[in-house]
């Protein structure tokens, strides 16, 4: 198995260049289509000549193939290879990291889009199962093993139903990448009950605060159904619509196509961050001082940490005396809203809500860390 992994990864430095070229062409065409009516018309003509848009069968095939590739990518990343941070630590080049980061993001992005379409179908027929409060939304989030790249489109499918309060959707989106059925027992086994308790309490508090802030300053009430309360964000109503009338295949394809340029931008930035600011750098410069806490929150935000990767980073640091508040600050900022998912927030939730959520994570993680450093010694 080790020889197989080495053989596969030896090709990454050669695949990175072509992958970057594909990304660049995709972003260029997307930009031209949105900025120039003439370019949009010409692209539509060219698309018609090559069979675009795809037929329902073609969309089904594309979603099926991507789902299979995503499943293989998840297995490969989980059981067969090192994390992106470890590769960056061992001086892997940018092309290598770009391919690795793309493989890392792919399963969560595809899963988020597919699950979103399935949720839309289920909710269309059985709306009663939806969580009604921020607390129930947070509990529901803790049962799903997904990261922030899947959480954003998944949360948007809940928002698109117009049947769940905006504050509950935001709370769900904030909690789901930090808590899941794998991370909770893993954190308890590796770092103990105090860290696990603070992780749960802190993210629920941060999720509820973010939900209330977004609803207060970026919420939008449907004028046709004012009695429903705030169920949308200002700036997101013009985005792609997910409904239960379409097939899950069509909704999945449309959501992937709509979000593809944004996830490409986020993935590229994430690869750059991983190369020039890998997670181990955080550990080298964290300290018991306030500057270390600022570093934990400020650097943790753009990192891509999921599936308990932060726990493995924190374990040796906490044994060497890293304060609990610093550890929780890195956990919240690194898991909650990574750079890839921030790119997805803008088209789905709007710029105002994106700024509020990102700022809440940055400021909130530091504030929570300060509070924990004061309170934790008293209960230890």
Determine the Cα angle at 63 with ends 61 and 69, to 5°: 100
Q: How far apart are CA 293 and CA 156, in angstroms?
A: 32
pLDDT attached to residue 107: 86
Please report the pLDDT score of residue 115 as a whole number.
Answer: 80
Nearest CA among 283, 328, 266 for reference residue 89: 283
What is the residue-wise DSSP string for 132-176? -SHHHHHHHHTT----HHHHHHHHHHHHHTT-S-HHHHHHHHHHT
Burial of 204 (0-12, 13-18, 19+ CB in 10 A): buried
Q: Give the pLDDT of residue 226.
A: 65
110: exposed, middle or buried (Cβ count in 10 Å: 0-12, 13-18, 19+): buried
Query: Which residue in this structure is represented by tokens 């949360």?
Result: 155
pLDDT at residue 223, as a whole number: 67
Q: What is the per-residue pLDDT for 237? A: 47
Which tokens is 85 given? 């941070």
Cβ(12)–Cβ(102) below 8 Å:
no
Task: With a cut of 50, list the residues of the chain below it in pLDDT.
Answer: 237-238
Q: If phi over 0 gives left and psi between -120 and 50 gives alpha, with beta otherwise, what is residue 305? A: beta
pLDDT in the model for residue 22:
94
End-to-end CA distance of the chain: 44
Distances in Å between the Cα of 162 and the Cα atoms of 26, 149, 150, 250, 357 are 32, 22, 20, 20, 20
* pLDDT computed for residue 222 by the predictor: 67
Task: Give the distance, in angstroms, between the CA of residue 128 and the centroid of all CA atoms in the same chain.
Answer: 27
Q: What is the pLDDT of residue 208?
A: 95
What single string gives the DSSP state of each residue in 30-93?
HHHHHH-HHHHHHHHHHHHHTT-SPPHHHHHHHHHHHHHHHHHHHHIIIIIS--HHHHHHTT--
Please state the separation of Cα 247 from the chain's center in Å: 25
Rounded to two decimals, the pTM is: 0.75
Q: Is the CB of residue 179 less than 8 Å from the CB of residue 199?
A: yes
Per the CB < 8 A criterion, the answer to whether 346 and 231 are in contact is no
DSSP 230: E
């Amino acid at each position: 198995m080790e020889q197989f992994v080495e053989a596969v990864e030896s090709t990454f430095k050669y695949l990175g260049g072509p992958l970057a070229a594909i990304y660049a062409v995709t972003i260029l065409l997307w930009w031209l289509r949105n900025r120039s009516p003439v370019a949009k018309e010409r692209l539509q003509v060219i698309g018609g000549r090559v069979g675009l848009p795809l037929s329902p069968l073609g969309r089904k095939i594309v979603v099926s193939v991507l789902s299979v590739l995503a499943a293989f990518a998840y297995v490969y990343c989980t059981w067969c290879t090192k994390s992106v941070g470890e590769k960056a630590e061992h001086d892997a080049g940018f092309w290598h990291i770009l391919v690795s980061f793309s493989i890392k993001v792919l399963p969560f992005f595809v899963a988020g889009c597919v699950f979103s379409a399935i949720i839309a179908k289920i909710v269309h027929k059985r709306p009663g199962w939806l969580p009604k409060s921020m607390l129930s939304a947070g509990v529901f989030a803790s049962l799903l093993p997904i990261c922030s790249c899947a959480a954003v489109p998944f949360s948007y499918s809940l928002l698109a139903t117009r049947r769940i309060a905006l504050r509950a959707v935001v709370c769900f989106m904030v909690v789901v990448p930090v808590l899941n059925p794998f991370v909770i027992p893993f954190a308890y086994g590796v770092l103990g009950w105090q860290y696990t308790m603070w992780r749960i309490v802190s993210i629920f508090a941060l999720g509820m605060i973010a939900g209330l802030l977004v609803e207060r300053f970026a919420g939008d009430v449907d004028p046709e159904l004012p009695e429903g309360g705030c169920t949308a964000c200002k700036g997101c109503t013009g985005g792609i619509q997910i409904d239960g009338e379409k097939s899950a295949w069509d909704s999945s394809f449309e959501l992937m196509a709509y979000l593809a340029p944004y996830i490409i931008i986020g993935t590229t930035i994430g690869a750059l961050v991983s190369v020039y600011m890998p997670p181990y750098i955080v550990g080298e410069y964290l300290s018991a001082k306030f500057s270390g806490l600022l570093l934990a929150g400020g650097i943790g935000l753009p990192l891509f940490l999921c599936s308990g990767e932060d726990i493995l980073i924190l374990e040796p640091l906490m044994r060497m005396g890293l304060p609990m508040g610093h550890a929780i600050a890195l956990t919240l900022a690194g898991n909650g809203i990574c750079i890839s998912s921030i790119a997805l927030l803008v088209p789905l939730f709007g710029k105002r809500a994106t700024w509020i959520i990102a700022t809440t994570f940055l400021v909130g993680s530091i504030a929570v860390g300060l509070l924990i450093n004061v309170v934790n010694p008293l209960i230890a």
